[in-house]
Amino acid sequence: MAVGRNISMVTNFILLGFLECPQVQIVLFLLFLGIYLVTIAGNLGLIVLIRMDSHLHSPMYFFLSNLSFVDISYTSSIAPKMLCDFFKEQKAISFVGCATQLFFFIGMGGTECCLLAAMAYDRYAAISSPLLYQSLMSPTICVGLAITAYTGGFLTGLVQTSSIFQLHFCGSLVINHFFCDLPPLMSLSCSSTFFSQVVNFLVVCAVGGTSSLVVLVSYGYIIAAVMKIHSSHGRMKAFNTCASHLTTVILFYGSGLFSYLHSNAGYSQDKNKVVSMFYGAVIPMLNPIIYSLRNKEIREALKKLERKKQMSCLCAIVP
């Protein structure tokens, strides 16, 4: 098997990472550590808030809590290793470790695509068919959609990781990136990457394309339904319920599709590092911020939690 030959020939890859200047490395380390800690705190806080507030026990927030969990897992597949590598002269990663990192990174990315599509369908059901919303988005259907999202995501990771690690790596083992990603790994192969490129393209089209289509069709129906609302206040209220989700969709899909579908002929490793950092670390950090700022129910839940804390402090002070 090709994988067996690869393991016998390749035991480690070397990650090039970012700039070699020690002063810049320290600044980048502090920046990325801050981003990672804010991502964990923001998404974990959102999950806890949704669990604690009974008013947020609805399909929309069920998917949002899953999205937060995926964001934590997604960025955690690359951030800890990247942060540790700032202090290493040789940023090595084992063959198995590289494959595992790629699998979880792609798997969680695919899951996020599917969850965003499920959330778009939820908004369609709430706005276009409010009378049927409870039956269209029953607990059984919500759990089924979430399971489908995770299954689709990890099948994506399995297929793409398998296609990459069937390649022969017998030349340079230096990955010009800060984690194991598809394009830089394919550029290291000394065998034909045609099959892997085709698999990559088909999987991205199948998962990204299908979920994008669900999002587009859902928002098409949403816009049509909103246009039928006579009052401008009613239209604005309906659009506001979708604003956070739509912002997340544009940021995630835009950066992800740019990275994975651009031409190899114009491929820039340094440019791709910036894009990868954006959708791999910055977007997971922004998601809870976007939903907290744009969502009235989240803001109200945060205010209620703050009031409870103040009351608890007063009760502790006043005997």
* pLDDT per residue as tens digits for the range 121-165: 999 999 988 889 999 999 999 999 999 999 999 999 999 999 999
Helix H or strand E segment including 12: strand 12-15
Q: Is the pLDDT of residue 76 over 90?
A: yes
174 phi and psi angles, rounded to 5 deg? -90, 115
pLDDT digits (tens, 9 = 90+) for 2-23: 444 444 456 789 998 876 566 7
- The larger pLDDT score, comparing residue 155 to residue 276, is at 155
The model's confidence at residue 285, banded by pLDDT at 50, 70 and 90, is: very high
Report the C-alpha gap between 223 and 230 in whole angstroms: 13
- pLDDT recorded at residue 73: 95
Q: Which residue in 152, 120, 127, 128 sits closest to 248, CA to CA?
A: 120
- pLDDT recorded at residue 257: 66
**What is the percent of the chain where pLDDT is above 90?**
43
Task: Tell me the pTM.
Answer: 0.88
- The larger pLDDT score, comparing residue 316 to residue 225, is at 225
- pLDDT recorded at residue 281: 87
Q: Is the pLDDT of residue 292 over 90?
A: no
Classify residue 55 as exposed, middle or buried by CB count within 10 Å of its CB (0-12, 13-18, 19+): exposed
- The larger pLDDT score, comparing residue 258 to residue 316, is at 258
The model's confidence at residue 291, banded by pLDDT at 50, 70 and 90, is: confident
77 phi and psi angles, rounded to 5 deg? -70, -20
- Residue 17's region, left for phi above 0, alpha for psi from -120 to 50, else beta, is left
Paired tokens of 263: 């031409």
DSSP 263: -
Report the C-alpha gap between 131 and 125 in whole angstroms: 9
Q: Is the pLDDT of residue 233 over 90?
A: no
Paired tokens of 273: 């590092």
Question: What angle is formed at CA 236 by the lines to CA 126 and CA 303, rounded to 5 degrees?
Answer: 80
Question: What domains does the chain contain, in order, with CATH numbers?
Answer: 2-317 (1.20.1070.10)
- pLDDT recorded at residue 287: 87
Question: What angle is formed at CA 257 by the lines to CA 252 and CA 260, rounded to 5 degrees?
Answer: 125
Mean pLDDT of the 107-120 span: 94
- Residue 190's region, left for phi above 0, alpha for psi from -120 to 50, else beta, is alpha
